[in-house]
Amino acid sequence: MAKQKGIIKLDGTIGGITFYKTTEDGYLAREKGGVSADKIANDPAFQRTRENGEEFGRAGKAGKLLRNSIRAMLQNASDSRMVGRLTQKMVEVIQEDITNPRGQRNVIDGEAELLEGFEFNISGKLGTTLYAPFTGTIDRVAGTLTANIPAFVPINMLAAPGGSTHFKIVSAGAEVDFENETFVMDAQATAVLPWDSAATAVITLVNTVTANSTHPLFLALGIEFYQEVNGQMYPLKNGAFNPLSLVKVSGL
């Protein structure tokens, strides 16, 4: 892959070179060609390639299902490369499957706990935004995913982006059935709180899913920032710096 330079930018294929534009990296160029799809699909020499492709596709599908389960929260907290980063993490989860043969490994028999700590928004990580201690707990029997934050002084323990006047703590508990491609999700949030020197109350957000579930469970915790203008609350910079992280994960 090469980056195009100069005043005139090309789009299309010329002399075996494909010119194209990407959102993140601008105008790029690459050589056209490669192995035919038929050869990759049938040649024994490409068996490993087929296996890797199957597992990568499975990872992408699993990542999409997880994203869909907390879609409402991701609309307020995610970066442009999040999908790719999550897919790569799902690949790592699948590679930990020691039950199935290569090419048939999956998330269910993998190590879903590897997703714990995943940041959905690189532009605003939870770990560099919220300095107050917090805990995430999952009670599979009761079907509850709980985020607890002791009382804290926002202006001291919350690194708010410039222009912030208020914030809200949000959480989501998701029960994801990767095999049947279904999920159960419950979201909770505090009231909109002032970013000032007055201590908050103890914050406990309890998200409820199916009791005694046999599916992976995910607890996400995040913060939404606001700016007050003439008594109205406006999301700060369309949520560009809102953090959202998987703080607790329970596989099977």
The predicted-structure confidence for 180-192, as pLDDT tens digits, reads as follows: 999 999 999 999 9
pLDDT for res 181: 95
- H helix runs in the chain, sequence order: 37-42, 47-69, 71-74, 82-95, 154-157
Q: Is the pLDDT of residue 217 over 70?
A: yes
Residue 234: count other Cβ atoms within 10 Å of its Cβ: 14
Q: What is the reported pLDDT for 32?
A: 62
Nearest one of 66, 72, 104, 106 to 86, comparing CA atoms: 66
pLDDT at 16 over 70: no
Residue 138 CA to residue 120 CA, distance in Å, equals 20
Other Cβ atoms within 10 Å of 124 Cβ, number: 24
Q: Identify the residue with better confidence: 22 or 76.
A: 76
How many whole angstroms from its chain centre is CA 33? 33
What is the per-residue pLDDT for 166? Answer: 97
CA-nearest of 125, 120, 113, 118 to 73 is 120
Dihedral over Cα of 30, 31, 37, 43: its sign: negative
Cα-based distances in Å from 252 to 43, 163, 177, 218:
37, 43, 11, 12
Q: Higher confidence at residue 44 or residue 247? A: 247
| DSSP-derived secondary structure letter, 7 | S
